[in-house]
Copies of this chain bind each other. A is one copy, B any other.
Amino acid sequence: MINENFLNLKTSYLFGEVDRRTEAYQQRHPGASVIRLGVGDVTLPLAPAVIDAMHAAVDECSRAETFKGYGPEHGRAFLREAIAETDFPGLGIKASEVFVSEGSKTDMGNILDIFAPGLSAGIPDPVYPLYTDTCIIAGHNIKYLPMDASNDFSGDIPEERLDLVYLCFPNNPTGAVASRKKLTEWVEYALRNGSIILYDSAYESYIRDDSIPHSIYEIPGAEDCAIEFRSFSKTAGFTGIRSGYTVIPEGLALDAADGRKVRLADLWERRQNSKYNGNSYISQRAAAAALSPEGRRQTRAQVDSYLVTASGIRGILADAGLDPAGGVNAPYLWVRTPDGMGSWEFFDCLLEATGVVVTPGAGFGPGGEGRFRLSAFGERHASIEAAERIADFVKTL
């Protein structure tokens, strides 16, 4: 009577386990200076344009004439239109193809509701755990797609057909970006095989290299094989405010068992109509403000600031001989552990010696063993100090 697939999940969720070990350390060493470069949460306050918009939205809700109750499940028109115009310039994405929600973690989990169980799902290795866990819960068959230095951390095109292919660029955890050429190969693969690409571009605003695509829809044909997920969390600091969205092009369709074409946007719309009541009005006004000209200037400056931190960490680790990947066009660095240490072993030793919390690569899948992830979202000075502690620690080994 229970969903037995849950019993196939690993017992501990990555970030929960990191928290547990960190708390145990703090109990053993009360007063120790802990710096967390682990969980990828932002730290800069919200942009003034966003704050102003939220105050105004709260005030609207204080008066009967301007009170806002239920809105459309898929987001209010002002936000869907702002997203289509601002985030996909020249790509022909319509407001009606944009489905607003409270975040892309939620959407990337819930999207599996529209697919049959027991599909083959290609999942990058290493990978943010949500793809794996939600595929296990849904009873899909996972085929790992190794993404490592041998393929520029953007994968080799598989020989076999896969029903679903998860891609995430700029990548969490590796910080890798995919070239236009590689993304084109993935889209061609999907079109050839009738696969659906689930494209996570939560970190697209960190791309500063003009040759790197921000959206899968920059690749011809992607509108016939790809769903794209985006979030305001890392673009505008909305990890506590909650707003994101999913793009499903109107032509994207699959055959039902009886042969009729079924539009995936229709299935998602029905799924959300049945199980969702829309993103908070306050959050939607906040998101629209982040997309305004002023909001874009302010939030871009925040992203720039995190990129400066990433660059600083990268320099210190490189000087210590660690040869970090990522940290350019992305807020994450993906670093090989010294002396071939296991990634949880390194996590424990580093924490015990320095109080610095990283995220063990093995928590992101088998291909993450022997690596650790650093986030550039922490406060600048603390993050640089943490990088220096890591560099000093490595010298002691």
Identify the A interface with B (CB < 8 A). Answer: 1-4, 6-7, 9, 13, 16, 39, 41-46, 48, 51, 54-55, 58-59, 61-64, 67-71, 102-103, 105-106, 109-110, 113-117, 119, 129-130, 133-134, 137, 163, 194, 196, 233, 237, 239-242, 254-258, 262, 264, 267, 270-271, 273-283, 379
Contact = CB atoms under 8 A, between A and B. Distances in A.
Contact of A7 (B39, B130, B256): B256
Contacts of A257: 4
B276 A106 contact: yes
A67 B276 CA distance: 27
Given A13-B270, A62-B48, A67-B43, A279 B4 contact: no
15 contacts: A1-B163, A2-B254, A3-B116, A4-B257, A13-B273, A43-B64, A45-B64, A51-B58, A69-B239, A102-B102, A129-B274, A130-B275, A133-B270, A133-B274, A134-B275
Contacts of A239: 69-70, 277
Contacts of A4: 116, 256-257
Rank and list the top 3 A-B pairs by shortest CB-CB distance, nearest first. A109-B275, A69-B239, A240-B281
Contacts of A271: 6, 137
Given A45-B62, A51-B62, A58-B55, A1 B70 contact: no
Q: Copy number in this complex?
A: 2
Given A46-B67, A240-B71, A256-B2, A274 B7 contact: no
B280 A241 contact: yes
A281 B7 CA distance: 31
A283 B271 CA distance: 24
A45 B61 contact: yes
Contacts of A274: 9, 13, 109, 129-130, 133-134, 137
A74 to B, nearest CB: 12
